[in-house]
């Protein structure tokens, strides 16, 4: 089940999953941004965490970094 969070006014969907060995991973999706914009392949291996909370916290932090980078790109475009 996805959990909805928000950062910088954008929706972030967190999708935690427990692996067979008991560790947790968490994928995130930002509606409107594709995987190429997120700069990650769709099947990228995700770090595993001991708890669901740690996995979701790490995924949310990564999503916030993507949004901050997108904001920086749109407010400070590189001149060529």
pLDDT in tens, 7-32: 989 999 999 999 999 999 999 999 98
- Is residue 9 a contact partner of residue 31, using CB atoms and an 8 Å limit? no
**Beta-sheet strand order (sheet of 10-18):** 3-7, 10-18, 24-29
pLDDT per residue over 27-56, tens digit each?
A: 999 998 876 555 555 546 788 999 999 999
Q: What is the 3-state secondary structure (H, E, C) of 4-41?
A: EEEECCEEEEEEEEECCCCCEEEEEECCCCCHHHHCCC
The pTM score is 0.78
Partnered with residue 16 across adjacent β-strands are 26
């Amino acid at each position: 089940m996805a959990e909805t969070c928000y950062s910088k006014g954008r929706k972030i969907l967190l999708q935690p999953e427990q692996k067979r060995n008991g560790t947790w991973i968490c994928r995130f999706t930002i509606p409107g941004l594709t995987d190429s914009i997120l700069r990650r392949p769709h099947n990228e291996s995700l770090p595993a965490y001991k708890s669901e909370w740690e996995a979701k916290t790490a995924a949310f932090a990564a999503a916030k970094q993507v949004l901050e980078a997108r904001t920086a790109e749109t407010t400070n475009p590189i001149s060529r």
